[in-house]
Each structure stands twice: as structure tokens, then as C-alpha cells.
Amino acid sequence: TKLSTVSSPLSGRGLTETAYNDITHYNNFYEFGTDKGDPSRNAWRLKTRPWTVSVEGLVKTKKTFDIDSLMKLRPLEDRIYRFRCVEAWSMVIPWVGYSLSEFIQQCDPLPSAKYVQFLSLADPKQMPGLGESSIQWPYSEGLRMDEAMHPLTLFTFGLYGETLPNQDGAPVRIVVPWKYGFKSAKSIVKVRFLDKQPRTTWNDLAPDEYGFYSNVNPNVDHPRWSQKTERVIGASLFHQRQSTLMFNGYEDQVAGLYKGMDLRRNY
Amino acid sequence: MSNRTLKVLKILSHLACAAPLVWLLWLAIENHLGPDPTHTVTFFTGKGTLRLLVLSLAVTPVRRLSPRLSWLIRFRRMLGLWAFAYGCLHLLTYIALYAGFSVDAMLDDLSRRRFIFAGMASWALMVPLALTSTAWSIRKLGGKAWNRLHRLAYLSAIAGVVHYWWGVKQGVHSPFAITLTLAVLLIVRPLWGFFHAMGKAQSPSDAMKRTL
């Protein structure tokens, strides 16, 4: 469905957008299968209406938001962001949404809340991939409060001016453009405010490979993939490589969040 | 099986091994390698290598099922060499599209990434086998020594499967099928030897019949 959107100063300029077909057919969404093509084949089973997002943990009162009211909470903005997967490939995606901070304000978190946890849907009836891999569902991701409140962190409902295709995390997902893609939880049903760092799915699976922060960083090597360069999705065979930028190109905006931290240790 | 039929079968097998590469080349020229062409070529050549290698290892056990299948041995070298060809392309993909022909990058990968090391080991183990694949080499080395050397094919396949598992992320089970196939082949060999020996000890006449 077409969405009415407004422009945003936080949207990237001069970036070549990845083709819609690639954004919607090359996905990591293990709830629908581990192959990159599985989500586009299987995600039609996902029912995105009715859909609610419940808010719990360190908040004044527990709340449940209906997806349609969330989409009307603030004007939807076009935000063109770089997207970098930890597997060393990248896209440029024109997302639609508003800053997560706007939503968090509606949640009334207590001052003691230091972290936000996002839990994705895990329904075997709709998600045939749940049994395929040895992951503890539901998918869980989290951010430090200041990261979640950063204006770049996007509460996302669409791409290319339309509602999110199911395989891209419909009906609502997070996008944190300076972090590896797996930090950006999809198909969110629960948001929890905590005083401790939450458990996160990939960190549970392989803590030496996937840190809690997982900021895009060409200088911190991944044990599996070099992170110095990336393969641009949609480019031709011999023109796919490009250098990876610190914080995925958002260094000016977000480096301050990590001042004084050893990024090698807090990878 | 007549020599003529064998010849036709051999040509068909060569075509079957070459066809996927022609297909891949066509996809590359037509720009149909998908959103991530490097990844497509990597997995295409890598899976091809492992499948052919495992297929070549299956020749001996399958042949033993019946004396009527003894002609299969004439296909083993061919399958092994095709596995090596796919392996070379897989390695070349890595050298060109991942390491960008940089020796430093490759040494760095080898020392730090165990899945690259296992892959390199798998390829390196195939090199002496490809080099000694001629009839001349068999004569020169003697059948026994040649046979012993060519057991490296098992090691190469094991290293290849390990490379595959270490290369994919946790939670991904795509290497399972090829691992199971290789495991069966690895178990069948000593098992067959064991039962063969038992059979011989218990009733020499039966064993005779079986070998005849």
C-alpha cells in the first residue's frame, strides 16, 4: 500500500538506491528460512493485521499500541540509509518511518530504564523457518537507551514509499543504520525497557562473533569475514567490492555515543 | 558393457560436468547471477566441488554392490579431475573477488580464518591427486603406493565439508546433506572390509562366489 510521506534532513544524499526487487528478494529473516530467497517465498504466510506492539518493563504503565495508530503517531518520513550486513554485503534502502525516539516518548519509560529490548513475532503457523535453525525464538535484539533515542534510529513501516513487504520485517521494524543489519529487529510485537543489557539472539549463538554493540567498523575484524570491504548488492560480478565506512558512514552523527569506549572490546 | 557404450557414457558425463559451468558463464554474461553475484559464483563452484568429490568417492563402494557395476571405475578419475577443476574455480573466485589478488589479504585470512584454512587445505590435498592422475603415474608409483596416495581424496572431502560448516553461520544447516553422504561413504568402507573378512573366515566358498 502506498504511504504518504514527507522528506527528512536525516535522509542520505547522493546514494544509489538498491533495486526494489533486490531489497525484497535477498533477505536474512531466519523465521522464514535460512536461504536468502526463503523469506520472499515464505513470508506471504505472515498476517500483519491485526497487529499490536506491547510495551512492558520499566515504564509508568504497560501499554499496547495498535499498528494503525502507530503509523499515524507522527508524519512518515522518507529516509534513505546505507544498510550493511555483517556478512559483508551492503544495500542502500529508502525506508519510511519516523525516529524511534518519538515512539519511546509515548511509552513513558522510567528514568531507571537503560536499555530497550525488541522481540519479534515467533509463530510456527506463520513462520515455517522456526524449526530450521538452532536459534532460541523469539528473535531478540536490543539497544542502549541513548542509541535508541538517537534521531537516526528509525521506527520503520515502509520502503520505497510503500508499506513494508512481509519479508522485510512487516508491519513494523527497527532500522539502526550504523550497526550491522541483524541489530535491526523485524516484525516487532514487544518492546521492553530494562535496567540491564538484554540477551540478544546472535550474541547468544556466537558471542565471539556478534557483540552487543555490533557497530559497523572496518577496523574490527570479524572472525568469519573481513569487514574492511563489502559487496554491493545489485552491482555486477567484478564491480561489487567497495570500502566499508566507519559506523557505515554515520561517524559524524553517532561517534559521540561511544566516546571513551574501546570499540575493539565493545564490538 | 561394450567399449562403445562406455565411450558414449563418458562423453555424456563430461558434458554433464561441464554444463553447469557453461550455464554459470551464460548467467554471468547475461548479468543474471542475482543480487549478490560474488556469493552466487562462490557457492555454485564450492558446492560443485564437494558434490563431484563425494561422487568420485562413491564409485568404489557402489561398484562393490554388484560385479556388474565394475565398469564404474572407469569414471572415477574423470569425476575427481572435474572436482579439482571446480575447486580451482572456487579458489580463483576467492583470490579474485574476495582477496583482490592481494597476497597479504590471503595470508591474513589463512592465519585468522579457520574456514579459509580448511578450504585451502581441501584444495591443496587435491593437487597431488590431480598431478598423479595419469596412467604413467600409476605405473611409476606402483598400484599400492598410488592407491595409498589417493586416499587423500577422503581427507580432502572431509576438509571441504569442515570448510563448508565453518563458513556458514551458526544455525544454518545447509551442509548437512553432503556431510551425511560423506559420512555414509566413510563408514561403508571399513564396514565392508570387516564383513568381507568375516565372510571369508566363516565360509570361504561363499566369499569366493561373491568375488566371482
What confidence category does residue B65 fall into, taking pLDDT thresholds of 50, 70 and 90? confident
- Which chain B positions have a beta carbon within 8 Å of A34's beta carbon? 171-174
Measured CA angle at A209 (ends A208, A213), to 5 deg: 95
pLDDT tier at A67, thresholds 50, 70, 90: very high
pLDDT at A221: 86
Locus of grid cell 590435498:
B125
Distance between CA atoms of residues A167 and B146, nearest Å: 53
Identity of the residue in A134, A224, A231 whose CB atom sits nearest the CB atom of B113? A224
Q: How much is the average pLDDT of B135-142?
A: 92
pLDDT tens per residue across span A219-256: 998 888 889 999 999 999 999 999 999 999 999 999 99
What local confidence, expressed as pLDDT, does residue B49 receive?
Answer: 98
**Residue range A137-169, pLDDT digits in tens:** 999 999 999 999 999 999 999 999 999 999 999
Over pLDDT 70: what percentage of chain A?
A: 100
Chain B residues within an 8 Å CB radius of A237 = 28, 33, 37-38, 41, 97
Q: Cα torsion at B39, B87, B45, B70 (round to 10°)? A: -160
pLDDT of residue B193: 80
Q: Find out whether A78 and A11 touch, Cβ atoms under 8 Å.
A: yes
pLDDT score recorded for residue A248: 98
Q: Is the CATH number 3.90.420.10 carried by domain A5-257?
A: yes
B41 to chain A: which residues are within 8 Å by CB? 237
Which residue has better confidence, A176 or B189?
A176
Cell triple for residue A253? 552523527
The residue among A37, A19, A80 whose CA lies nearest residue A234 is A19
Give all strands (DSSP E) within B113-206, no chain letters.
none
ipTM: 0.87
Hey, is the C-beta of A87 within 8 angstroms of any chain B C-beta? yes
State the Cα–Cα distance between residues B94 and B106, nearest whole angstrom.
9
Across chain A, mean pLDDT equals 96
- The whole-angstrom distance between A108's CA and the closest CA on chain B is 36
DSSP B98: I
Between B205 and B157, residue with greater pLDDT:
B157
- Please give the DSSP secondary-structure letter assigned to residue B169: P
Distances (CA, A) of A161 to A66, A93, A101: 21, 11, 21
How sure is the predictor about B205, in pLDDT bands with cuts at 50, 70 and 90?
low
Q: Where are the domains of chain B?
A: 3-211
Q: How many whole angstroms separate alpha carbon B151 and alpha carbon B156?
A: 9
Question: What's the pLDDT score for residue A134?
Answer: 81
Q: Which residue has the cell 520502503?
A: A159
**What is the total residue count of chain B?**
212
Cell numbers placing B47: 558446492
Please tell me whether residue B172 adopts helix, strand or coil conformation: coil
Domain ranges of chain A: 5-257
Q: How many residues does chain A have?
A: 267
Which one, of B82, B76, B88, B87, lies nearest residue B17 by Cα?
B82
pLDDT of residue B195: 82
Dist CA B37 CA A239 (whole Å): 10
Alpha carbon distances (Å) from B98 to A18, A39, A149, A253, B101: 21, 26, 37, 30, 8
Contacts of B132 (CB under 8 A, 6+ apart): B138, B141, B146, B149, B150
* Predicted pLDDT at B202: 61
Is A204 in contact with A236 (CB distance < 8 Å)?
no
CA dihedral B126, B128, B131, B134 (to 10 degrees): -90
Residues 6+ apart with CB under 8 A from B116: B94, B109, B110, B163
* Averaged pLDDT of chain B: 91
| Omega before A171 within 30 of 0, i.e. cis | yes
* Any A CB within 8 A of B199 CB: no
Q: Which pLDDT band holds residue B67 (cuts at 50, 70, 90)?
A: confident
Return the residue of B nearest to A23 by Cα.
B35
pLDDT at B209 over 70: no
Q: Which residues does chain B have within 8 Å of residue A132's beta carbon, measured at their own beta carbons?
A: 173
The answer to whether the Cβ–Cβ distance between B173 and A89 falls below 8 Å is: no
DSSP string, B25-89: HHHHHTT-S-S-HHHHHHHHHHHHHHHHHHHHHHHHHHHHH-GGGGGGGGGHHHHHHHHHHHHHH
| DSSP letters for chain A | -B--EE--TTS-SS--PPPHHHHHHS---GGG-SSTTHHHHHGGG---SS-EEEEEESBSS-EEEEHHHHHHSS-EEEEEEEEE-TTSEEEEEEEEEEEHHHHHHHH-B-TT--EEEEEE---TTT-TTTTTS---SSPEEEEEHHHHHSTTSEEEEEETTEEPPGGGT-S-EEE-TTB-GGGS--SEEEEEEESSPPP-HHHHH-TTTS-SS-B--TTS--SSS--SEEEETTS-GGG-EEEPPGGGGTHHHHGGGGTT--TTT--
B212 has a pLDDT exceeding 50 = no
Distance CA B174, CA B195 (A): 33
Restricting to A residues 176-235, those with a Cβ less than 8 Å away from any Cβ of B are 205-206, 209, 221, 223-224, 226, 231, 233-235
Does the structure show a pLDDT above 80 at A183? Answer: yes
Does residue B80 surpass a pLDDT of 90?
yes
pLDDT at B70 over 80: yes
Per the listing, cell 565506512 goes with A245
